[in-house]
Chains A and B, each alone.
Chain A
Amino acid sequence: LAKTTQPISMDSYEGQEVNITCSHNNIATNDYITWYQQFPSQGPRFIIQGYKTKVTNEVASLFIPADRKSSTLSLPRVSLSDTAVYYCLVGSSGAGSYQLTFGKGTKLSVIP
């Protein structure tokens, strides 16, 4: 199983760009990288997914270097409502066998 490491917490002011990095040194060839957002008393919610290079959607960007040993979630111009815990997930499937490893999460606090 890939081991994932994230910072425990981060603070940011409203309007700033926030970058959260996840390390996954032993990522496997078939593994995808997915980021989730979780608010208190709710289940995690999908943000973005990628395999390599850069992916962008309406809420975030995901940067994955060529060696894929880390990934960075970028949130542009955060607001108070972005205060949440963010998890990276490294996972793949093959022959019906799933390998899924969540990081322990990064608690992002957005300050007014």
Chain B
Amino acid sequence: NAGVTQTPKFQVLKTGQSMTLQCAQDMNHNSMYWYRQDPGMGLRLIYYSASEGTTDKGEVPNGYNVSRLNKREFSLRLESAAPSQTSVYFCASSGGGGGEDQYFGPGTRLLVL
């Protein structure tokens, strides 16, 4: 039982390049989330998926797109990376609603030059 896995662990991009961050969970959870974590800012919600087939914007969605590929997988795409998107990205999942405890992946460190 791996929990929440994320790939890649670390990535360097040049401004304007695109990439997709992958996330998968094996806990049969309905809800999945993408956060970014910047020094002194805590965790900010980018997008979430309450259930398979649905996605919604969080606090900081600009510059990102998401896909809930199936119940297990939730990907985050940067179409045209900017230096302001340099951050650590965490994927999480939970059994149900926004009040339930979330299980986090190990994170992806992204550096945009």
The chain A residue with its CB closest to the CB of B3 is: A43
Nearest-CB distance from B2 to chain A (Å)? 13
- A93 beta carbon closer than 8 Å to chain B: yes
| Cβ contact within 8 Å between A44 and B54 | no
Q: Which residues of B contact A45 (CB under 8 A)?
A: 104
Q: Indicate the size class of the contact surface on chain A.
A: 20 to 34
CA distance A12 to B27 in the complex (A): 36
Q: Interface stretch among B42-50, B61-69, B75-83?
A: B42-50
The chain A residue with its CB closest to the CB of B9 is: A41
Nearest-CB distance from B11 to chain A (Å)? 15
- A80 beta carbon closer than 8 Å to chain B: no
Cβ-Cβ contact count across A and B, 8 Å cutoff: 73
CA distance A112 to B35 in the complex (A): 34
**Scoring B residues 84 to 112 as 1 if CB is less than 8 Å from chain A, else 0, what string do you get?**
00000010100011111111111100000
CA distance A97 to B99 in the complex (A): 11
| Cβ contact within 8 Å between B104 and A32 | no
What is B's interface to A at a CB cutoff of 8 Å? 4, 31, 33, 35, 40-45, 48, 50-51, 54, 56, 58-59, 90, 92, 96-107
> What 5 A-B pairs have minimum CB-CB distances, sorted nearest first?
A43-B104, A93-B97, A98-B98, A32-B99, A93-B98
What is A's interface to B at a CB cutoff of 8 Å? 1, 30-32, 34, 41-46, 49, 87, 91-94, 96-105
25 A-B interface contacts by CB (under 8 A): A1-B59, A31-B99, A34-B101, A41-B107, A43-B4, A43-B90, A43-B92, A43-B106, A43-B107, A44-B102, A46-B101, A46-B102, A49-B99, A91-B98, A92-B98, A94-B97, A96-B50, A96-B51, A97-B50, A98-B31, A98-B48, A98-B56, A99-B98, A102-B42, A104-B40
